[in-house]
Structure 1
Amino acid sequence: MIPVLTTERLTLRAPEAADFEGMYSILGDLRSQYMDGPMSRADAWNFFSREVAGWTLHGFGYWSITATESGDYLGSVGFGRHEWFPETEIGWCLTSAAEGRGIAREAASAALKWGTVQPQITSLVSYIDPPNSRSIRLAEALGAVRDDDAERPTASDLVYRHEVRP
């Protein structure tokens, strides 16, 4: 049910239970401050489980990003439509070892190529905490445009709108 996407360096695949340790290394760290972190292990498990559940509930969700050559877990990218989200979001997060290497852009580009043609994704945004300059730069590099009129799950979030292909 969950498609496997590949890029030059990456494999985006279904999350596995073993990926949780890598996800917890992201969510339990201060670097996750723009994602309501740092999180306890239990809260990180709930976050991780939500990402997996999207595939069953909506027909889209998050992939685990792995290095094709080594199989190392590098992070997560994909689509979320949580009850408190006004629209479907594309989001990303990386382990500290994966940052600064263009991995988020490569993974998000592959996810966008898949997601923007899915009939169940009729609009697509990224909700970004204003101090998160790296995510803002990535959203803009992916072609997203800031939409100050859009609804948002948190009043302080910035909304970056991605084009959805008909």
Structure 2
Amino acid sequence: MIARPATIAFPSAPEILTDRLRLRMPVHGDFAHRQAFYADARSVWEGGPFTAEQAWRIFASEVGQWPLMGFGPFSMEDRASGEYLGEVGIYQPEGYPEPELGWFVTAGAEGRGIAAEGARAVMAWARASFGWDHIDNYIDPGNARSIALGLRLGGVIVDAPGADPTDVVIRHDLRGLA
């Protein structure tokens, strides 16, 4: 078996700290959490459930956005305990009209405001790093919880293309962020 390198020699995610969270570059060990999410019925809004092989391809391609595009997913962990809580970040696979702000949390992190806290930090980072005026969410119309979160974060539903023709597109104005 070939050993994996201990460090990565190409650009990676910066570390962002919030009151409760540490947002960091995903590592191989995070895949087990992502695989569990994609194997669960909760992944239906992301096109799942997926096999382990399909989940790996999604995870690897999203993490691979960092050296290719300068943005991608952040793994979220509890600052106090180090517990993995989910993922938040900016995604733009082939076919997306613009970069998208997205998230998922582990079952144990649901309902605790983790996704909202991480999303706010990523929006501020995107504004400071890229000067973007806005960022969108592309959400399946059946995903009421994510739509509600996008609106709670201050976004508004707009008539714009999403990743899928049926997506609800929620736009966040970043101009007032530091």
> TM-score, with normalisation over the residues of structure 2?
0.88
CA contact 1:64–1:76 (8 Å) conserved in 2? yes
User: How much has 1:118 moved relative to structure 2?
Assistant: 2.6
- Residue by residue over 1:81-121, the C-alpha shift from the partner in whole angstroms, topping out at 9 and shown as x without a partner, is 11110011000001101101111111111111101233275
Which residue does the alignment assign to 1:67? 78
Greater shift in the superposed pair: 81-90 or 110-119: 110-119
- Tell me whether 1:2 sits opposite 2:13 in the alignment: yes
For the aligned residue pairs, the C-alpha RMSD in angstroms reads 1.5
Q: Return the alpha-carbon distance in structure 1 between the equivalents of residues 134 and 60 of structure 2.
A: 23
Which residue does the alignment assign to 1:35? 46
Which residue does the alignment assign to 2:170? 160
Q: Return the alpha-carbon distance in structure 1 between the equivalents of residues 171 and 51 of structure 2.
A: 31
Q: Return the alpha-carbon distance in structure 2 between the equivalents of residues 43 and 35 of structure 1.
A: 12
1:117-128 → structure 2 map (5 Å cutoff)? 117-119=128-130, 121=132, 123-128=134-139
Q: Secondary structure at the match of 2:129?
A: coil
In our comparison, the structure showing a higher alpha carbon Rg is: 2
Report runs of 4+ in structure 1 exceeding 4 Å deviation: 120-123
The gaps in structure 1 that reach 5 residues or longer are: none
Q: Return the alpha-carbon distance in structure 2 between the equivalents of residues 120 and 50 of structure 1.
A: 25
User: How much has 1:9 moved relative to structure 2?
Assistant: 1.1
Q: Return the alpha-carbon distance in structure 2 between the equivalents of residues 33 and 127 of structure 1.
A: 14
- Tell me whether 1:18 sits opposite 2:29 in the alignment: yes
Among candidates 48, 61, 84, match of residue 95 of structure 2: 84
Which one-letter code corresponds to 1:39 in the other structure?
F
Q: Secondary structure at the match of 2:93?
A: coil
Q: Return the alpha-carbon distance in structure 2 between the equivalents of residues 163 and 146 of structure 1.
A: 12
Q: Return the alpha-carbon distance in structure 2 between the equivalents of residues 82 and 120 of structure 1.
A: 21
Q: Percent identity?
A: 42
CA contact 2:21–2:76 (8 Å) conserved in 1? yes
> TM-score, with normalisation over the residues of structure 1?
0.94
